[in-house]
């Protein structure tokens, strides 16, 4: 199997092109190949597939073998891959996702290669039961949750995949490994949850660290950055456009008031190519 290793702000993926459909053993492949000690090493395994409704389809397997409905960093990697490899020539493309439908992307070029990608991430889902959580409210803001004897409050947002955003005094230094897994699997979240810990530094700048469902701590999460911006607007602490600073770098997120769509702009990069049995 030929593959390309890519990353979006350090959130890294094994990208595979050429399959006609998702392999039956994709889950097992992801567990094996994403291992950083026994495999290639990555946060996820991404398949670029044919689509009947968009230019391409993206399917993402997390490192634990579960499937992600959407991934903001992966979709930017897919866009860079198909353009830089010559599989598409236009700068406006569409990619079909499992959880967020067809998403339009604008490729921003430098020296004939994709430097950054602006993605229309669609409208956020704020109804608690649809995120999903077990909380029947719309929206779910500042809702209490207790794990390990510690009380938190979260705002729930779906960007095609589920997120809970929790505000802390110091997101950069927050203990992800203790609280992330406890919150991910809390009974309030029937399909588990991506957990963002955020600190609003200014109305246009937010620090965020993430515990990703199915992958654990990652250097960046595009959908998580979008959810954090939406949550911060709902909580009255940020403007509708802001830089969200993650461990691997910054994403610029906009929540357009007229369309209700969220837009994400950020880079993607190649690391290396290879093949594996």
Active site residues per annotation? 71, 221
Note the helical H segments in the chain.
Answer: 26-33, 72-84, 176-184, 222-234
Q: Pull the structure tokens for residue 181.
A: 């897994």
Q: For residue 216, say whether it is annotated as part of any ligand binding site.
A: no
138 carries a ligand binding annotation: no
Whether residue 223 is preceded by a cis peptide bond, meaning omega within 30 degrees of 0, is: no
User: Is 178 annotated in some ligand binding site?
Assistant: no
Judge whether 260 is annotated as a binding position: no
Burial class (CB in 10 A: 0-12, 13-18, 19+), 27: middle
Q: Is 222 marked as a binding-site residue?
A: yes
**DSSP character for 115?**
E
Q: Rounded distance, CA 96 to CA 252, Å?
A: 22
Dihedral sign of CA atoms 255, 261, 265, 271 in order? positive
Cα–Cα distances in angstroms (integers) from residue 127 to residues 46, 131, 139, 143, in the given order: 29, 6, 5, 13
Find out whether 275 is annotated in a ligand binding site: no
72 carries a ligand binding annotation? yes
Is 213 annotated in a binding site? The answer is: yes
Terminal C-alpha separation, the chain: 6
Q: Which parts are annotated binding residues? A: 11, 62, 72-73, 161, 194, 212-213, 222-223
Q: Per the annotation, where are the binding residues for substrate?
A: 11, 62, 72-73, 161, 194, 212-213, 222-223
């Amino acid at each position: 199997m030929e593959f390309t290793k890519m990353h979006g702000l350090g959130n890294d993926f094994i990208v595979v092109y050429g399959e006609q459909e998702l392999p039956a053993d994709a889950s097992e492949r992801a567990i094996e190949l994403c291992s950083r000690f026994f495999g290639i090493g990555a946060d996820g395994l991404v398949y670029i597939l044919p689509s009947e409704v968009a230019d391409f389809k993206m399917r993402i397997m997390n490192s634990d073998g579960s499937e992600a409905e959407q991934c903001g960093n992966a979709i930017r990697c897919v866009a860079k891959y198909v353009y830089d490899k010559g599989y598409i020539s236009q700068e406006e493309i569409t990619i079909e996702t499992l959880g967020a439908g067809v998403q339009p992307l604008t490729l921003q070029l430098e020296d004939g290669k994709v430097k950054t990608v602006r993605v229309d991430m669609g409208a956020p889902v704020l109804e608690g039961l649809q995120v999903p959580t077990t909380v029947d409210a719309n929206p779910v803001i500042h809702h209490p949750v207790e794990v390990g004897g510690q009380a938190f409050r979260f705002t729930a947002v779906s960007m095609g995949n589920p997120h809970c955003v929790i505000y802390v005094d110091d997101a950069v230094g927050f203990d992800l490994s203790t609280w992330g897994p406890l919150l991910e699997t809390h009974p309030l979240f029937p399909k588990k949850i991506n957990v963002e810990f955020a600190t609003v530094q200014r109305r246009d700048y937010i620090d965020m660290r993430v515990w990703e469902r199915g992958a654990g701590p990652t250097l960046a999460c595009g959908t998580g950055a979008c959810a954090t911006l939406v949550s911060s607007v709902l909580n009255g602490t940020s403007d509708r456009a802001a830089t969200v600073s993650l461990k691997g770098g910054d994403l610029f997120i906009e929540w357009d008031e007229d369309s209700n769509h969220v837009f994400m702009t950020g880079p993607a990069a190649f690391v290396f190519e290879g093949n594996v049995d």
